[in-house]
A and B are shown apart, each in its own frame.
Chain A
Amino acid sequence: MRNLVPVLAVLGAILALWYAAVAPMNIRGALDQAERSGAVVVPEGSAVRARTGTWALVFGNTEHLGLAYALDRPRLPTPGQVAHELWKTTGEMALNGRAMSKRSLLYHGWITLQSTFWGFLLGTTLGILGAVAIVYSRVVDMSLMPWAIISQTIPIVALAPMIIVLSSQMGIEGRGVPKAIISAYLCYFPVLVGMVKGLRSPSASQLDLLQTYSASGAQAFFKLRLPASVPYLFTSLKIGVAAALVGTIVGELPTGAISGLGARILIGDQFGTPLAIWAALVAAAVLAGALVTLLDLAQRVTLRRMGMQG
């Protein structure tokens, strides 16, 4: 309970800032709308207002400020509006039995989650295998590691369309596979780096000790290096799963996808529906939070069962 106070305080501060920012962000739209409906605004005419400072508009039209918080297409929606939109496209639709409708964020979230899962699986597998190869072979360390680092310097937005084109060239139908590849591309790196560090974490004397038992390489791996790397692995997995989600969403953005949270964001942008964008953004954040929390839980349970306090 002691931790709840600071958490709520930060949350409250963010919401307060957000609400405070809504009035100046939306004041022009609100005044345009008020003027059209015949109300008196200062100054009159949107061309004149375009040359007037934002704060002058806010303080000169305090009676219309309420409107800034209730626009249909606000520049910045209020947290309440976003929450309402989110509910409308998730919980409400689910209650009406339309959870998997094409307009439901649950449907789009599910599409994104699937790609994230496959990308995460692929990226994690590659990351772990790469780390093992790097730890056991100096040649691989010297040859693979630079490429791994270079791979992360290329903007994924530039790479994503190429991966889509290449995979369709290779006759792969649909967006699932290329999205998973893009997702894995972002996700393998933290797993690789973390696992290399984890597999190398046993001290020289611990390795010497195994040598005094004439232990085989496989025994050293399974009895020492692998268990020693588990705490590092989980830390990497948490970063990796968030990266995988970002990768999937980026994979849905510039590629003409029509389903998935990334596609919702792009469509919201093209059709000028900021509420849809914000709802999709929040849905993505909630999804990421849930995935990281799930892994955190798995970490605690695993480390406790291994006897290492999480």
Chain B
Amino acid sequence: MKDKGDPVIVAKGLNLTFETGDGPVHALRDVNLTIAKGDFVSFIGPSGCGKTTFLRVAAGLEAPTGGTVTVNGMTPDEARRKRAYGYVFQAAGLYPWRTIAGNVKLPLEIMGYDRAEQDARVKKVLELVDLQGFEKKFPWQLSGGMQQRASIARALAFDAEILLMDEPFGALDEIVRDHLNEQLLALWARTGKTIGFVTHSIPEAVYLSTKIVVMSPRPGRITDVIDSPLPKDRPLDIRDTPDFLAVAHRVREGLRAGHAYD
């Protein structure tokens, strides 16, 4: 078991080029990054900056064309087989023919947990995302925010140490989003997971993260890595403090520097 602060995801000289009809697209160029255990790392940048691609490479969903990435010292594929991470997509992607409990059970069934263990875990993670009592409901009976919480529960169900979240709240309105951000921080504090979080929103990134990775497109690269000075305990109104605004300012500067807005 790794201690807090040990490197979990390490990328060295990572390159990924997609060959398209319009010539090569450099989704990632020379990306170096270390994510430590217990970190909450946000990836922020405009579309096409490679933030999602980085997450997918770390998850073994995409193969790099150059450089290396290791997860707990293993290749992403090996780490995946060891159930090192849970992945949350922008679309909750719950199966409409399964109840909420059934959806959370999906990875457990695939991974071959026994019945009793499945039920116990479903109960535990639904409590974590505050969805107890909704086990027998079907996805269409839940709001968008609740569906996304269910999909987070699904990613947590098999006790992965790392949670990779690709714009999980991107499709939700701001009020629901604030609420979910608060809940996510509480969940992170309770579980001590390492979280990689892709977002478009500067306030969201600053509010949630211990480390903010600012990226820019064409080619996709890292322009700034900010270690947040904010305390771990963060009420929503921390967003009005000078520290918060200073970090947000630096993120905005980083985004502007890497992007000509042409």
Contacts and interface: CB of A to CB of B under 8 A. Distances in A.
Interface in B3-34: none
Contact of B97 (A209, A210, A215, A307): A307
B61 A208 contact: yes
A211 B106 contact: no
Contacts of A308: 96-97, 138, 140
A255 B157 CA distance: 63
B89 A208 contact: yes
B73 interface: no
A309 B86 contact: no
Nearest to A211: B61
Contacts of A224: 95
Interface in B145-177: 158
Given A208-B61, A212-B59, A215-B110, A307 B85 contact: no
A227 interface: yes
A203 B93 contact: yes
B18 to A, nearest CB: 15
A214 B109 CA distance: 12
A200 to B, nearest CB: 16
A212 B87 contact: yes
Contacts of A215: 110
Contact of A213 (B97, B98, B110): B110
B91 interface: yes
Contacts of B61: 208, 211-212
A209 B80 CA distance: 12
B80 A214 contact: yes
Nearest to B158: A213
A205 B158 CA distance: 19
Contact of B93 (A205, A306, A307, A309): A205
A213 B111 contact: yes
Question: Which 9 A/B pairs are nearest by Cβ-Cβ distance?
Answer: A306-B97, A307-B138, A205-B89, A212-B87, A213-B110, A213-B107, A215-B110, A227-B97, A206-B93
B143 to A, nearest CB: 17
A309 to B, nearest CB: 7
Contacts of A219: 110
Interface of B: 56, 59-61, 80-81, 85-87, 89-91, 93, 95-99, 106-107, 109-111, 138, 140, 158
Given A205-B91, A227-B95, A307-B99, 19 more contacts: A203-B91, A208-B56, A209-B89, A209-B93, A210-B110, A212-B59, A212-B80, A212-B87, A213-B106, A214-B81, A214-B110, A224-B95, A227-B97, A306-B97, A307-B96, A307-B97, A307-B138, A308-B138, A308-B140
A290 to B, nearest CB: 28
Contacts of A228: 95, 97
Contacts of B98: 307
A102 interface: no
B62 to A, nearest CB: 10
6 contacts: A206-B93, A209-B89, A209-B93, A213-B111, A219-B110, A227-B95
A309 B59 contact: no
A223 B106 contact: yes
Contacts of A211: 61
Interface string A222-234: 0110011010000
A305 B96 CA distance: 11
A306 B80 CA distance: 31
A209 B107 CA distance: 9
Given A203-B91, A219-B110, A223-B109, A212 B97 contact: no
Contacts of B56: 208
Nearest to B62: A208
B81 A209 contact: no
Contacts of B96: 306-308
Nearest to B98: A307
Nearest to B106: A223
Nearest to A303: B97
A306 B138 CA distance: 9
A206 B140 CA distance: 17
Nearest to A230: B97
Nearest to B164: A212
Given A213-B107, A213-B110, A208 B95 contact: no
Most chain B CB inside 10 Å of its own CB: which residue of A203, A205, A213, A215: A213
Interface in A278-310: 306-309
A129 B56 CA distance: 33
Interface string A168-188: 000000000000000000000
Contact of B87 (A209, A307, A309): A209
Given A203-B93, A214-B80, A307-B138, A208 B106 contact: no
B140 A309 contact: yes
A219 B110 CA distance: 7
Contacts of A205: 89-91, 93
A233 to B, nearest CB: 13
A214 B85 CA distance: 11
